[in-house]
Amino acid sequence: MERFDAIVVGAGPGGSVTAYRLARAGVRVLLLDRARFPRDKPCGGGITLRARNQLPIDPAPVVEDVVDTFELGLRYGRRIERRGRGPLVLMTQRRRLDHHLANAAAAAGADFRDGAKVTAVEADGDGVTVRLSGTAVRAEAVVGADGANGISGRSLGLGQNIDHGVALEGNAHYGDISEERYRGRAVVELGTVPGGYTWIFPKGDHANVGAGGWGRAGPRMREYLNVMCARYGVPRDRLTDVRGHRLPMRRPGSRPARGRALLVGDAAGLVDPLSGDGMYEAFVSARLAAEAVFDLLAGRARDLEAYGRALDREVGRLGTASWAAKRAFDRFPRTTYAVAATPPVWRAFERLIVGEVPYPGAIRGPVRAPLRFIEGLSRLAA
């Protein structure tokens, strides 16, 4: 049986960055993924500036557009434009980003094996055994990074108490829509999907068009996407790569670590409830996971349980605020939009997504009043 210091199951953003951090520090790490790379994943493909700040690998080679303007609409009626003081979101595609990050992990020294289907993950007091088709590997610790439907969480009994949203998206190629119209801007229509929104995000030779919201909205998601296309003049029958996916959103009390095993990224339910973005949380959890594994291997800790507490400290308050804003938008969309669209609240949002503040409660000054008003709407909604 092959032995490693650590095994990472899943080579998405969270898994590959964890493997990269471990390998750079001299840890013998095995990175596994069932798919052959490059492979695509349904995703809006946006890396906010705060997420970029958490990424130890330069994403520039796979960035296809840079968003500095948000166009925010409410139910295809009132619409406003808000420009950032600089770049806000780096746009990429998961097929390119994931391949880039996995290659970086391999270049740092990780043993990357794609096309390797994991059939079971078994943890005991001395380590972890990961079973693949016809073989098994052993390590001191395992990091589950195999997404919302991955086997790691199921095998280990982790990642419970997670809600699931759902999204449906496709690609509209420039020529079918105006490149000049969408280049450099993210279009977001609020109040159009229960618990979510519809969007158009620019990429290299196309724009990503989608709809996402509560899981219960799934049966009507195709309808929501069709309406978005009709309202913005996107030829629905010309969309390519149309596919749906689940959005795992962690609730308080969800356990991301036990013994010598932990979960990162989507596997831990680390998708922001309000925006549906999981890149920032994936990169933060990758950093915290690597630190927990370092402590275990160095004998400073007997297990990886401290990871869960560190995760709560770093993203817990942000998640709580996002759940609150999501409830307010869902129950009182017009009032919440009217408050959120004001220039002071926009600047607060901008500070948040570029990483100047870690969560809304850390923002001080006059803008606290409208933010508290949205909190009050959330309590009413609850």
Q: Cα 139 to chain center, whole Å?
A: 27
Q: Which residues of 47-83 are buried (b: 16+ CB within 10 A; e: fewer)?
A: bbbbbbebbebebeebbbbebeebbbbbeeeeeeebe
Residues sharing a CB contact under 8 Å with residue 115, sequence separation 6 or more, in sequence order: 33, 34, 35, 36
Q: In the prediction, which pLDDT does 103 show?
A: 98
Helical segments of the chain, H only = 13-24, 49-53, 94-108, 151-156, 179-182, 221-231, 279-297, 306-331, 333-340, 343-353, 368-381
Identify the pLDDT of residue 28. Answer: 98
For the stretch 44-82, pLDDT in tens is: 999 999 999 999 999 999 999 999 999 999 999 989 999
For residue 382, is pLDDT > 80? no
Residue 136 has what pLDDT?
96
Residue in 201, 280, 210 with CA at minimum distance from that of residue 245: 210
pLDDT in tens, 147-188: 988 999 999 999 888 899 999 999 999 999 999 999 999 999
pLDDT of residue 161: 83
Instruction: Report pLDDT for 159.
Output: 82
Q: 245 forms bridges with which residues in the sheet?
A: 167
- Split at pLDDT 50, 70, 90, the class of 242 is very high
Q: What is the pLDDT of residue 381?
A: 86
Q: Please report the pLDDT score of residue 184 as a whole number.
A: 98
- pLDDT band, residue 199 (cuts 50/70/90): very high
> Range with the lowest mean pLDDT among 6-10, 20-24, 249-253, 346-350?
249-253
Angle in degrees, 0-180, between the axes of helices 306-331 and 279-297, rounded to the nearest 10: 170
Q: What is the pTM of this model?
A: 0.96
Give the integer Cα–Cα distance in Å for 95 and 276.
Answer: 19
pLDDT at 253 over 90: no
Residue 62 sits at the vertex; the CA angle it makes with 59 and 65, to the nearest 5 degrees, is 100
Percent of the chain with pLDDT over 90: 92
Cβ atoms < 10 Å from Cβ of 318:
23
Residue 369 sits at φ, ψ, to 5 deg, of -60, -55
Q: What is the pLDDT of residue 133?
A: 86
What pLDDT band is residue 8 in, cutting at 50, 70 and 90?
very high
> What domains does the chain contain, in order, with CATH numbers?
2-45+93-162+250-318 (3.50.50.60), 63-92+163-247 (3.30.9.10), 324-381 (no CATH)
What backbone phi and psi angles, to 5 degrees, belong to 240?
-115, 160
